[in-house]
Structure 1
Amino acid sequence: MAAPADTVVLLLRLAGPLQSWGDNSRFNRRETQPEPTKSGIVGLLAAALGLERGADLTDLTDLSIGVRTDQPGTLLRDFHTVSDYRGVPLKQTGVNAKGLQKPTGPAKYTHVTYRYYLQDAVFVVGLEGRADVVTDLAAAVQRPAFPLALGRRSCPPTQPIMLGHHATNLLQALSTHEWQASDRGRANHLRNTKPATVDLPVTIDDPIGGEVRNDVPVSFGLRDRQFRQRRVRHTTVRIPSGVIDPDPAADGGAVVGHDPFSLLNW
């Protein structure tokens, strides 16, 4: 099914040493989802466009978003402790009649917190929307007004980010673009086999999808952060693995598939 004539798909590569895509975090425990959230992607695009906090995000939230996991990465837990440099007890969240924070009781001098990250993950993100909006985004991503981040400011992306435009629908674009995993990621995925294709998981916006996520930002305002729900569905796409037969004389250097009878020397 082709996309409407006035819509296009922009593909982005989101990769870096660390990423963190939280959607339900507390002060002492900042978790990450296994793939980029819509709020995180919209935040990256808003930074590229130079939008201030509290700006209207409608053009960005109206985009249909799909995420293909090319390399899932591994989970990292970063351990932190918080204390007062003066050596006094930490404060609690409650306040007294004067509006001042109460001290912890019994006195607590150290607070333990955790931060979770994805290490060495690679995602291909598709953004489907009006041609004029997508064109402006493509230009902004290449010359961002503010630094881009993969969920948190401490997680800068590696290059390239831009993968190009596609005059097709979102799922088709994610089904045809080449695999973006690193050499090590490919080796871990293939596990010494030589399949001609690989199946990669995709999460895509779908109004009748089976999962509900509360990660569509209404406002990023510091005192008025709001989110609404969306529905998504999960599927897989099959793309060429790019594996080349190591013996060019055997198949002319062609991409080959796994032969289950090879172990029997048939």
Structure 2
Amino acid sequence: MPTVLMFTLQAPIAAMGDLAVGERRYGADRLAKSAVLGLLAAALGIDRSDEQVHATLARDYGCAVRLVRGSFAIADYHTVQVPPARKGRRWATRRDELEEPDLGTTVTQREYRGDVHSVVALWGRSGEPLRFSLSALERALRTPVFTLYFGRKSCPLGRPPFPMVLDAATLADAFAAYESADKAKRLGRGAAPDGPIYADVDARSWLGEAVRDDRIISRRDAILSRRRWQFGLRQEVAAVATGGTSGKQGGGG
């Protein structure tokens, strides 16, 4: 019976970045695994430059996200100073660009999501003892070292994460057990009982019978280098819970 860390991420406005190329920064409609691990790293007080620890987090834990409530897109616009385009002229740094005497202005667009509410499940998948136990991660989420935010510093969490470690036979059972708990119940009003679940593909075997329409999706959110902001492809399984459970739920410590 797997042990799972459950917690809630909810915010009035959230930044869930996707591929960022050019003047438009697209946003995803759900959390990336790299964002979940980044938030846990912040709670633990891990600096972005500590590549080894970030690699350990990415290796040691499986992750699943359930969308409790559908969000909506928000567009934000920024003006940016840019040098004029000149044939054969390239700038090595942003500082070099700003030293040009005749700067112009361009408009960039960033996408945010409004009214975001997700529940996250995390479990250990390493054959060796975890560097950070699920109970240690739970404590860190309750008393984080760094301030937690939803993608950007301008997007604070709307409510505390209310982390909880529990045992469940399947992922569907884990989400059901968490959402029936007293603290989580206060966060779950208006929740869709069949909200979609997106999980690491290696969790497909224990999603549970109470899911339907599963498919495999590729996302570029596997951490390669947190310091250089490089990410590789990761496969996740998408499934919709039907509201039933396939086993008993029990609390863990």
Q: Distance in 2 between matches of 1:27 and 1:51?
A: 30
State the Cα distance separating 1:100 from its structure 2 match: 4.4
Amino acid at match of 2:83: L
Change (3 A) 1:235 1:175: farther
Task: Specify the structure having the higher radius of gyration (Cα).
Answer: 1
TM-score using structure 1 length: 0.70
The runs of 5 or more residues in structure 2 that have no matched partner are 180-184, 205-214, 245-253
Amino acid at match of 2:39: L
State the Cα distance separating 1:22 from its structure 2 match: 0.9
Change (3 A) 1:90 1:59: same
Aligned to 1:156: 156
Change (3 A) 1:103 1:59: closer
Q: Residue 155 of structure 1: SS of its match in structure 2?
A: coil
Change (3 A) 1:103 1:74: same
State the Cα distance separating 1:65 from its structure 2 match: 0.5
Aligned to 1:81: 79
2:232 pairs with 1:228? yes
2:106 pairs with 1:111? yes
Amino acid at match of 1:26: V
Deviations 1:171-192 (A, max 9, x none): 4312433267665x55xx6xxx
Aligned to 1:32: 27
State the Cα distance separating 1:219 from its structure 2 match: 2.3
Amino acid at match of 2:223: P
Q: Residue 42 of structure 2: SS of its match in structure 1?
A: helix
The runs of 5 or more residues in structure 1 that have no matched partner are 84-88, 190-197, 241-266
Deviations 1:178-214 (A, max 9, x none): 267665x55xx6xxxxxxxx31111011147622212
Contact 2:9/2:119, CA 8 A, preserved across alignment: yes
Aligned to 2:69: 71
Q: Distance in 1 between matches of 2:40 and 2:8?
A: 13
Displaced runs of 4+ in structure 1, greater than 3 A? Answer: 89-93, 99-104, 179-183
State the Cα distance separating 1:121 from its structure 2 match: 1.3
Amino acid at match of 1:235: A
Contact 2:142/2:163, CA 8 A, preserved across alignment: no
Moved more, 131-140 or 172-181: 172-181
Contact 1:13/1:122, CA 8 A, preserved across alignment: yes
TM-score using structure 2 length: 0.73
Amino acid at match of 1:73: S
State the Cα distance separating 1:90 from its structure 2 match: 3.2
Aligned to 1:95: 91
State the Cα distance separating 1:170 from its structure 2 match: 3.4
Count of matched residue pairs? 213
Aligned to 1:219: 225
2:134 pairs with 1:134? yes
CA RMSD of aligned residues (A): 2.9
* Partner of residue 50 from structure 1, selected from 40, 45, 57: 45
